[in-house]
Structure 1
């Protein structure tokens, strides 16, 4: 099955936080997300860094 690009909202939902909280967490971790959809590889990296 092909991996799909996801939105910030989908990432926030998966983490159980609001998009604004997600933005704050990413800022603390110094992770920049390009505008638009999040590529699968970056999505996985973000999940790994936030969950650890």
Structure 2
């Protein structure tokens, strides 16, 4: 198959859009995981009742 310049540009734009979506959702998941870790840290039992 002979690839024209327009077809190569189409592939490049499509790939770039795919990469943007993947990076966006990776960032969303990273923020969600970070927030979950913060919430779990809050329930660690370090509330001051049993200080040594």
TM bucket normalised to smaller: under 0.3
**TM-score, normalising length from structure 1?**
0.28
The TM-score with structure 2 as length reference comes to 0.28
Greater radius of gyration (CA): 2
Indicate the structure with greater helix content: 2
**Structure with greater contact order relative to length (CA < 8 Å, sep ≥ 6):** 1
